[in-house]
Amino acid sequence: MAVNEVYFMGTCLVDLFYPKAGLAGMQLLKREGIRVIYPSKQTCCGQPAFNSGYRKESLPVARSLIKCFPKDIPIVIPSGSCAGMIKHHWSELFEGESDIETALSVAERVYELTEFLVDELNVELTDLGEPTKITIHTSCASRNEMKIAERIEDLVSQLSKVEVLEQERKSECCGFGGTFAVKQADISGAMVKDKTDSLKATEASSVISQDCGCLMNIGCALEKQNSKLKTQHIAEFLWDRTHAKN
Amino acid sequence: MQRTETFTDRINDALDNEQLHSNFRSAMNYLMEKRRDKFPDQEKLDNLRNIASSIRSNSLSNLAELLIKLEEKLESNNIKVHWAETDIEANNIIYQILKDANAKTIVKGKSMVTEEIELNEFLEDKDIEILETDLGEFLIQLANEKPSHIVMPAIHKSRKEISRVFADHFPEFPYTEDVDLITQQARKILRDKFRQADAGISGVNFAVAETGTLCLVENEGNGRMCTTVPDLHIAVTGIEKVAEKLSDIPPLLDILTKSATGQEITTYFNMISSPRREGEKDGPKSMHVVLLDNGRSKIHQNNEMQETLKCIRCGSCMNHCPVYTQVGGHAYGTVYPGPIGITLEPQKQGITQLGELTSACSLCGACGEVCPVQIPLPKLINKLRSEAVEGNNKNELIEGAGSKRSSLELLAWKNWRILYGNPFIYSMFSKAATTLGFISPKTIGKWGKYRTTPIPSKHSLKELANKAGFDNE
Amino acid sequence: MNKSREIILERLKNNSNEIAHTKVEVTKKTYEWSNEEMISKLSEKLQLAKAETHILSDAKLIDWLNEELPKRGINNILMGASIAKQISKDINNDTEVLIYEDPIESWSEKLFNETDASITTTVGAIAESGSIVLHPTPEEPRLMSLVPDIHIALVYEDTLYETFNQIITSQYWTKNMPTNALLISGPSKTADIEQVLAYGVHGPKELIVLILTS
């Protein structure tokens, strides 16, 4: 498809906690000749309240987001989870609402970042970085909802100096689940422990993922465990390794 | 069953139990791998699931009609049909049948629906001996426990634990951890019980309306023993288990056995259409079927949640559930655990009592991906969460709708909504958070027990995007 | 009780809004296997499930029995009247032929505790799943294939089917279901103890399938 401009939705998590990952995503797109628009009024897709059952509080937040994307152009999101919320769950959130058609027309245009880079832009990457060993964690949303988990592997496989080490039980949930990490903190804690154990066992230097929710969960757990294993979003990882630093 | 401990207590007990975690970890890995081996081709698998889902949806769409037809066919096959709206009614019906036949010793095949109505306790209270004969159920009956998985009831027990239970109850057999030896001992013990029992009780995997046939899957042979040897056979089934045609059975059987235990087919597939006929030399002389409602018809009326009833009880969802793997089946405190459990049980027993079960889920979606009949479990679980806190308490279809609304949590979400629903307010909040370097005074809940507290960056993405020259429209 | 029936059906009937679903037509699978291929697949699957399979001409059946039964310590073997008529004059003197003539009540102890093996016919076999199919009759009752430790099943090569669906349709099961139809795919087994497979739980410890060619 001939695309020359897209909206970029950072997500609430990226905006405050992983802004560099968001910026990297935008730069990756810009490099391909795309005009990237960052609507300044964007906030959140509404997922936190939706997953807690408070749909009435989630709706106004989702609605304010709709206003950010008036043009009929793709909306690229550096998160399988948020992309999944809009693309697959706004239909439930807006059920019976008068603006459901508008909401769905937004949902239709949503792409997760790696999905867009691979499927729509056929991006080609040259590895300028140092040899490194990484392990990849795909989010449940990118696997089960968006079904684009392999896109991260597609991109990484183009980096000649990156060795990917596979973790045991790689498709198991890391235990974040948004508010689940707070509401069932001990179960979530046990899950993140199993996940970090399997990640550490690969002896990779860093964990790369499409989702900052998982990265925050895993990263903060690793930090608590005093582990040297780093975490990084795929966009930042790719941008760091493929852009010429002057 | 009266439980004094809370859901949280049971979860904590489970999480503290290293042995339990290790047992479940290896068991779930085993079951997931076996299933994966049987479905190497995703496209073929999706096709099988589409077919199975369609068959089950068809049954549910025509449920009343099919039940009437099933009843007609069963009765014409000389199998008596009874309808029970509640668990107590079912127990009374079964007891009356046994009493009329003067049946005092019962052998029982594995049946989750009989666990649901607590049949064993009911009959034992009336001095009727009821013996579980599926090896896993037999072992946990000895240990005075409940099943922790709907297909492999003793999955929570290690070999050592089982050997101990066995040796304690049967001192005449020397203590052994040899699985073959324990199995042979159980065979010896149960053989005479089958032969001499007054009645056999079983569940039903599928009930075919077209021919009036009850279908049962098993590997051990105990199910056939229970349904063939004693003079009386009583089958108990949920009303949703009916299939329209015989031709529905091969695809359902195929995906059931592959999903449940990664088997091509179970050792025995038993299709019963009649008690002993004139001239036959074995088989029960009389047969009864109890059609149990126990909340199912109410779920059926709820269009949004009706798909819950498509379940064919394969156990795949719990095998793949990362939460179930951590806490095991008993933590849920319900007959059906795991994803199907937290979907079904709050609907059957009400949200007031069981609404909190839906919190035991990270919405990872693994269950929905493996369900052979495509029940959208994550969507239904999330819907129940919404019913629990925003539902209308006058909703007759879901008891306790709205009962879990907490004014504290509602306030938190209202604040969140003000913050995130209003770009101007959000931009102020964002400026404050990045400048000051924190979101809230302390970490929320027990986040900090397992993780460090994340710190907001010095600049938001909006600022960085602006600085880098990106347009905002 | 009837009141419950009415209450339940009333609730189920009142649901006028159906869940939208697309009716998927089940395409009847065919593999186009030859008879040899079916025999091969059937044997392979049965053996994987730890059943024993042998292919022999039906003329050789009695020889096989006379050689194998004593070898395996089978002193008596239970069968229906027709098979008994076929083989009783040629069978070994040391092998006692038991005919399932009387209702189970009169001799269950002997069946359970003193019967070494049984031999039954089948109505066919399914190659795809590795299953033999039995329709017990007054002559070959249900317990024959369940109680004795060893079950020998005779499958005729012209009754092989590719799939479960094929045998259902080819044999018109919907018109006339037997009191008990059985698919048997191996000796009895369990994995209830730490997922370790153990055989011979309550059903036969051994299943021997003889595929008879003419």
Closest residue, chain A, to B465 (C-alpha): A23
Same-domain pairing of B181 and B264: yes
pLDDT on residue C18:
56
Q: Are B307 and B340 contained in the same domain?
A: yes
Question: What phi and psi values does residue B349 have, to the nearest 5 degrees?
Answer: -105, -5
Alpha carbons B459 and B450: distance in angstroms, whole number: 27
The whole-number pLDDT of residue C19 equals 56
CA of A189: which chain B residue's CA is closest? B450
What pLDDT, on the 0 to 100 scale, is given for residue B438?
Answer: 73
Asked whether residue C162 is domain-assigned, the answer is yes
Domain count, chain C: 1
pLDDT at C24: 73
Q: Is A142 among the domain residues?
A: yes
Q: What is the CATH number of the domain that holds B335?
A: 1.10.1060.10
Of B31, B64, B221, the CB nearest to C12: B64
Average pLDDT over residues C34-48: 97
- Structural domain containing residue A230: 132-242
Tell me, yes or no, whether B89 and B147 share the same domain: yes
* Domain membership flag for residue B15: no
**How much of chain C exceeds pLDDT 90, in percent?**
84
Residues B166-183: pLDDT tens digits? 999 999 988 999 999 999
Interchain contact, B456 vs A191, CB within 8 Å: no
pLDDT beyond 70 at B68: yes
Domain contains C3: no
Contact state of A186 with B11 under an 8 Å Cβ cutoff:
yes
A137, A226: one domain: yes
User: Which regions in chain A score pLDDT beneath 70?
Assistant: 1, 246
Residues A116 and A217 in one domain: no
- CB-nearest to B472 from A19, A37, A177 is A37
Do residues B228 and C180 lie in contact, with contact meaning Cβ atoms separated by under 8 Å?
Answer: yes
Domain assignment present for residue B27? The answer is no
Q: B88: number of CA atoms within 13 Å, CB side? A: 0
- C186: nearest CA partner in chain B: B267
Interchain CB contacts (distance < 8 Å): B and C = 253
Q: Is C172 on the interface with B (CB under 8 A)?
A: no
Please calculate the CA angle B345-B350-B352 and round it to the nearest 5 degrees.
120
Regarding whether A182 and A162 lie in a shared domain, the answer is yes
What are the residues whose beta carbons fall under 8 Å from the beta carbon of B130, sequence distance 6 or more? Answer: B106, B108, B119, B120, B123, B124, B201
pLDDT tens digits, one per residue of C182-214: 999 999 999 888 889 999 999 999 999 999 998
Among candidate residues B259, B279, B294, the one where a domain is terminated: B294
Cβ-contact A43, A61 below 8 angstroms? yes
Residue A161 in domain: yes
Is there an interface between C and B (3+ Cβ pairs < 8 A)?
yes
> Domain check: are A21 and A107 in the same one?
yes
Contact: C164, B139; criterion CB under 8 Å: no
Query: How many domains are contained in chain A?
Result: 2
Residues A149 and A230 in one domain: yes
Q: Collapse the DSSP code of A188 into the 3-class scheme (helix H, G, I; strand E, B; otherwise coil) and give the result.
A: helix
> What is the token pair recorded at B421?
């629903």
Flag whether B325 is in a domain: yes
Q: What does the alpha-carbon distance between residue C143 and residue B283 come to, in Å, rounded to a whole number?
A: 8
Domain residues for B87? 39-294
Q: For an interface test with B, which of A91, A168, A187 has the most B Cβ atoms less than 10 Å from its Cβ? A: A187
In a domain, C136, yes or no: yes
Answer whether A16 sits within 8 Å of B456, measured CB to CB. Answer: yes
Residue in chain B closest to C198 (alpha carbons) equals B180
Min Cα–Cα distance to chain A from B34, Å: 15
B134 with B54, same domain: the answer is yes
Give yes or no: residues A114 and A44 share one domain: yes
Chains touching chain C at 3 or more Cβ pairs under 8 angstroms? B
Whether residues B156 and B277 share a domain: the answer is: yes
Could you tell me the CATH number of the domain that includes residue C132? 3.40.50.10420
Residue C73's contacts (CB-CB under 8 Å, 6 or more residues apart) are C116
- Tens-digit pLDDT profile for residues A109-136: 999 999 999 999 999 999 999 999 999 9
Contact status of C112 with chain B (Cβ, < 8 Å)? yes
B4 pLDDT higher than 70: no
Q: Give the best residue of A4, A173, A191 to mutate against chain B (max B CB count within 10 A).
A: A173
Q: Are residues A106 and A86 in the same domain?
A: yes
Q: Is C124 on the interface with B (CB under 8 A)?
A: no
Kindly state whether C168 is in contact with chain B, defined as any CB-CB distance less than 8 angstroms: yes
Per-residue pLDDT band at B2 (split at 50, 70, 90) = very low
Tell me whether residues B54 and C23 touch, CB distance under 8 A: yes
Asked whether the predicted pLDDT for residue B24 surpasses 90, the reply is yes
Q: What is the mean pLDDT of chain C?
A: 93
Give pTM, 2 decimals: 0.96
Q: B touches which chains (3+ CB pairs under 8 A)? A: A, C
CA separation for the pair A209, A138 (Å, rounded): 6
Helix axis angle, A55-66 to A100-107, nearest 10°: 70
User: CA–CA separation, B285 vs B233, rounded Å?
Assistant: 8
Average confidence score pLDDT of chain A: 96
B241 and B188: one domain? Answer: yes
In a domain, B7, yes or no: no
Verify whether the Cβ–Cβ distance B282 to C104 is below 8 Å: yes
Quick one: pLDDT at residue C23?
A: 67
The tens digit of pLDDT for each residue in B237-292 reads 999 999 999 999 999 999 999 999 999 999 999 999 999 999 999 999 999 999 99
Closest CA–CA distance from residue A44 to any residue of chain B (Å): 6
Instruction: Give dist(CA B163, CA A156) in Å, integer.
Output: 50
Domain edge (last residue) among B294, B315, B332 = B294
Q: With contacts defined as CB-CB under 8 Å, which chain C residues touch B300?
A: 11-12, 15
Check CB contact under 8 Å for C198 and B274. no
For residue C132, give its domain range. Answer: 36-213
Q: What pLDDT does residue B442 have?
A: 60
Same domain, A166 and A215: yes
Of B81, B87, B93, the residue nearest B112 (C-alpha): B87
Pick from A56, A187, A217: which is nearest to B390 by CB?
A56
Under the banding of pLDDT at 50, 70 and 90, the label for residue B441 is low
In a domain, C7, yes or no: no
Residue A126 counted as domain residue: no
Of B389, B409, B457, the CB nearest to A17: B457
Instruction: Among B245, B271, B294, give the residue marking a domain's end.
Output: B294
Residue C112 lies in a domain: yes
> Which of residues A99, A120, A141 is at a domain's end?
A120
| Alpha carbons C119 and C74: distance in angstroms, whole number | 12
Per-residue pLDDT band at C75 (split at 50, 70, 90)? very high
Contact B409 A92 (CB under 8 A): no
Output Rg (C-alpha) for chain C, integer angstroms: 21
Q: Nearest-CA distance from B303 to chain A in Å?
A: 14
CB contact under 8 A, B416 and A51: no
Determine, for residues C190 and B253 on separate chains, whether the beta-carbon distance falls below 8 Å: no
Q: How confident is the model at residue B3 (pLDDT cuts 50, 70, 90)?
A: low
Decide which of A85, A120, A155 is a domain's last residue.
Answer: A120
Searching chain B, which residue's CA lies closest to the CA of residue C99? B281
- Which of chain B's residues have a Cβ under 8 Å away from the Cβ of C8? 67, 83, 85, 239, 291, 293, 297
Tell me if chain B has a CB within 8 Å of the CB of C35.
no
> At which of A120, A155, A174 does a domain end?
A120
Indicate if A92 and A15 belong to the same structural domain: yes
Kind of pairing between the strands at C131-134 and C124-126? antiparallel
Relative to beta strand B268-272, strand B213-218 is antiparallel
One domain for residues A164 and A91: no
pLDDT band of B213, cuts 50, 70, 90: very high
Q: What is the CATH number of the domain that holds A153?
A: 3.40.50
Q: How large is the average pLDDT for residues C86-115?
A: 94
**Are A88 and A137 contained in the same domain?**
no
Do the Cβ atoms of C191 and B194 come within 8 Å?
no
What CATH code is carried by the domain that includes residue B92? 3.40.50.10420
pLDDT one-digit tens code per residue, B310-361: 999 999 999 999 999 999 999 999 999 999 999 999 999 999 999 999 999 9
Question: What pLDDT is attached to residue B104?
Answer: 97
Residue range B48-70: mean pLDDT, rounded: 96
- Nearest Cβ partner for B282 among C1, C143, C164: C143
**Among B91-95, C24-28, C47-51, C140-144, whose mean pLDDT is lowest?**
C24-28
Contacts of A37 (CB under 8 A, 6+ apart): A5, A6, A7, A8, B470, B471, B472, B473
Query: Is there a contact between B301 and C11 if contact means CB atoms under 8 Å apart?
Result: yes
At B159, which amino acid appears? R
The C-alpha torsion from B445 through B449 and B454 to B455, rounded to 10°, is 80
Instruction: Please list every residue in chain B whose beta carbon sits closer than 8 Å to the beta carbon of residue A18.
Output: 457, 461
Tokens, residue B360: 């035991």
Q: Which residues of B touch A19 (CB under 8 A)?
A: 457, 459-461, 463-464
What is the distance in angstroms between the Cα of C214 and the nearest Cα belonging to chain B?
Answer: 28
Angle between helices B159-169 and B179-196 (to 10 degrees): 50
Partner-chain contact B297 C169, CB within 8 Å? no
CB B307 within 8 A of CB B298: no
Query: For residue B22, is it within any domain?
Result: no
Residue B1's pLDDT is what? 45
Domain shared by A59 and A98, yes or no: yes
Chain B contact set for A216 (CB, 8 A): 454
Report, as an integer, the average pLDDT of B57-84. Answer: 97
pLDDT in tens, C120-156: 999 999 999 999 999 999 999 999 999 999 999 999 9
Predicted pLDDT of residue B393: 86
Domain co-membership, B149 together with B265: yes
Q: Decide if B15 and A190 are in contact by the 8 Å CB cutoff.
A: yes
Q: How many domains does chain B have?
A: 3
Query: Is residue B308 domain-shared with residue B357, that is, in the same domain?
Result: yes
